[in-house]
Amino acid sequence: MTLLVTNIKELLQVREQNILKVSGSEMKELPTIKNAWLLIENDKIADFGTMKNMPKITADQTIDATGKIVLPTWCDSHTHIVYAGNREQEFADRINGLSYEEIANRGGGILNSVKTLQDTSEEEVYEQSAKRLKEVMKLGTGAVEIKSGYGLTEKAELKMLRVIKKLRENYDLPVKSTFLGAHAIPKEYKNDPDAYMDLVINEILPKVAKEGLAEYIDIFCEKGYFSIKDTHRLLSAAKEHGLKPKIHVNQFNSIGGVKVGVEHEALSVDHLEVMNDEDIEVLKGTRTMPVALPSCSLFLSIPYTPARKILDAELPLALATDFNPGSTPSGNMNLVVSLACIKMKMTPEEAINAATINGAYAMDLSETHGSITKGKMANFMITKEIPSFTFLPYAFGTNSIDSVYINGKLI
């Protein structure tokens, strides 16, 4: 099966040589071909070039993309798409003056979603989650990471991870799985958090690893949640089981989580709303990808990750949604890209790099996804007729995505 896309106004993120990520000032460059064609053979990108020099190609299907832009699908490297129910009451409570922290301290927040998840059957959690996954795919997400973390018992964590596995089996996009048993301290362990860490490390983690249910380990390293000591302990144990860290750090406070992540060769450190100079310094020269989640900042009215500070230090940066019921009930990567430009002062080129190739890196997928490169998987999208790619983040809230292809197939 061959698919030829012709008359593409602009083909974005074209990388002749495969690169794994882009950093600092490199992110200002978004390689593009104007007036381009793109050839897909089965599920892979076979070739591309300018219309002027297009060889004679007979394809099974040809799409005329006059006036439209083509780019790789978004790589959303941080989500909690698998959950049950919603928390719209907490949203209203926050409008009426309560803080996210106050809501959590009353037993709401993450623990609210934990109760709902525990009380919902695996089939029902799957149905609710699949609906969200389909919705974000339509918006251009072509690779996704999903975390557990609303179970907090062996049974409920395994239930979440099995739902993630089932999503991977039933949908064509890559779905990466992360074990986030250390997301919050369950109320039964309020007075003995160490015992909960023992449970996660000695009981749940070995089962997750044995069943091959996760490739990554995560922890919410934050005041009131899990300490630096807990983080060291968990990441050391996870390494024994072959799970790589991708961790929640510096959302509300800088307590040294970035450093621990780097010491444990984390694939990514995520959130980073609060970053001091030392946090930036320790990331230099490492393989750890900093990940910003601007729609979480929007929803909670908290600071945005200081992207300029990170990029000026020649570090890379990826963008992801954090789609979850409490801090970001949205999985729209287009909005994330807009917010990165509007609120974090990233240029459209930087934001698109961060949401494609760097997002792929943060899921160990940049060998196969995240750019228009021969041999990579044919995960790409065609926009509506728009004046330029800058229009994508500029027209925030407008859906400029016309069609999305995963593995060469229209979804």
Instruction: For residue 297, state whether it binds ligand NIG (rule: CB under 6 A).
Output: no
Distance from C-alpha of 192 to C-alpha of 186, rounded to nearest angstrom: 10
Distance, in Å, from the CA atom of 51 to the CA atom of 33, rounded to the nearest integer, reads 10
218 lies in the site for Fe ion, by CB under 5 A: no
Candidate segments 7-15, 175-183, 317-325, 350-358, binder of Fe ion by CB under 5 A: 317-325
Of 40 and 146, nearer to ligand NIG (C-beta) is 146
User: Is 108 or 393 the residue whose CB approaches ligand NIG more closely?
Assistant: 108
- Would you say 68 and 8 are in contact if contact means Cβ atoms under 8 Å apart? yes
DSSP 71-128: EEPEEE--------S--HHHHHHHHTT--HHHHHHTT-THHHHHHHHHTS-HHHHHHH
Closest CB to Fe ion among residues 252, 391 = 252
**397, 401, 406, 411: CA torsion to nearest 10:** 100
Size, binding site for ligand NIG by CB under 6 A: 12
Q: Does 322 bind Fe ion (CB under 5 A)?
A: yes
Write the interaction track for ligand NIG spanning residues 97-136; mark x where CB under 6 A is met and - where it is not: ------------xx--x-----------------------
Answer for which of 173, 296, 307, 363 binds ligand NIG (CB under 6 A) is 296
Q: What does the alpha-carbon distance between residue 197 and residue 231 come to, in Å, rounded to a whole number?
A: 10
Read off the DSSP letter of residue 161. Answer: H
- Rounded CA-CA distance 318/290 in Å is 6
Annotated binding site: 78, 80, 87, 150, 183, 248, 251, 322, 324, 326-327
**Partner from ligand NIG, Fe ion, none contacting 110, C-beta within 5 to 8 A by type:** ligand NIG
Which listed range, 255-263, 284-292, 317-325, 383-391, lies at the site for ligand NIG (CB under 6 A)?
317-325
Size of the site for Fe ion (CB under 5 A): 1
- Give which of 304, 248, 316, 306 is closest to 277, Cα–Cα: 306
Alpha helical stretches, state H, 271-347: 277-283, 294-300, 307-312, 333-344
Residue among 77, 148, 305, 324 that touches ligand NIG (CB under 6 A): 324
Q: Summarize as ranges the residues that interact with ligand NIG (CB under 6 A).
A: 109-110, 113, 220, 248, 251, 296, 322, 324-327
